[in-house]
């Protein structure tokens, strides 16, 4: 059974960089069967796809966030990570990592982690 | 970008009734790359349907999906108490991946 777990600071100051990591267990990122995504959900709102990454490091980002997002992967640790720069209060959201994205649904999700942007 | 519009925004029904949720796309969804998710408060979304009509692993057969092109439907044949939640449609055949705004299914 594939499991995903997000980790990282729950509070980030405005203009700083939000950094989160997703650790995958029960399946290997380097197997190359799937892409791995980040999705966020503003409080009380709907879902917004942030971007996905493949084990090789190839990425695709939502154009609405592309200038501020960087995804990376560490296959030795079976982890992938999100960095979102120049954050504002509008980036306050629950951030989920999930398996899927490139012509594939999101079939496994992490529990989500709330990141609040505030001074 | 494909915009997905879900209707109704809120659906009030009783256990045992049938629920029909709609998802309309602003342009055709290629190869029926359309999924449905269920989300309960404080939980991550759960995949119910993919490819417009295929049930995900472990999903009860009271959940069914249909449609193609720009019009898709999620049907819950007989509502169970645990089915009251928010439902999202999502397309994953065109970038950027997009979600509908959700339909809240509440107990009448």
A111 to chain B: closest CA residue: B44
Strand partners, A24: A4
Tens digit of each residue's pLDDT (9 = 90 or more) over A81-105:
999 999 999 999 999 999 999 899 9
User: Is residue B108 classed exposed, middle or buried when 0-12, 13-18 and 19+ CB atoms within 10 A define those classes?
Assistant: exposed
Chain B residues bordering chain A (beta-carbon distance below 8 Å): 1, 33, 35, 37, 43-47, 50, 56-57, 88, 90, 92-93, 95-102
Q: How close are the terminal C-alpha atoms of chain A, in Å?
A: 39
Chain B residue numbers touching A111 (CB-CB < 8 A): 43-44
* DSSP assignments along B27-92, one per residue: SPPGGG-EEEEEE-TTS--EEEEETTTEEPTT--TTEEEEEETTEEEEEESS--GGG-SEEEEEE-
CA dist., res. A50 & res. A40, Å (int): 7
Tens digit of each residue's pLDDT (9 = 90 or more) over B34-79:
999 999 999 999 999 999 999 999 999 999 999 999 999 999 999 9
């Amino acid at each position: 059974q594939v499991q995903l777990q997000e980790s990282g600071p729950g509070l980030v100051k405005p203009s700083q960089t939000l950094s989160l990591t997703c650790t995958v267990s029960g399946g290997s990122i380097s197997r190359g069967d799937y892409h791995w995504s980040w999705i966020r959900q503003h409080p009380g709102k709907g879902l917004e796809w942030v971007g996905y990454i493949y084990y090789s490091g190839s990425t695709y980002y939502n154009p609405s966030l592309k200038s501020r997002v960087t995804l990376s992967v560490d296959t030795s640790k079976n982890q992938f990570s999100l960095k979102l720069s120049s954050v504002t209060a509008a980036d306050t959201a629950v951030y989920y990592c999930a398996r899927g994205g490139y012509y594939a649904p999101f079939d496994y999700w992490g529990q989500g982690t709330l990141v609040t942007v505030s001074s | 970008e494909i915009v997905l519009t879900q209707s109704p925004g809120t659906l009030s029904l009783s256990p045992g009734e049938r629920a029909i949720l709609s998802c309309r796309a602003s342009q055709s969804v290629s190869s029926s790359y359309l999924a449905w998710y269920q989300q309960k408060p404080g939980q991550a979304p759960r995949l119910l349907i993919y490819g417009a009509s295929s049930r995900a692993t472990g999903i009860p057969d009271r959940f069914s999906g249909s449609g193609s092109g720009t019009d898709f439907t999620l049907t819950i044949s007989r509502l169970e108490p645990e089915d009251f939640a928010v439902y999202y449609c999502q397309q994953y055949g065109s970038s950027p991946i997009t979600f509908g705004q959700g339909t809240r299914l509440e107990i009448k």
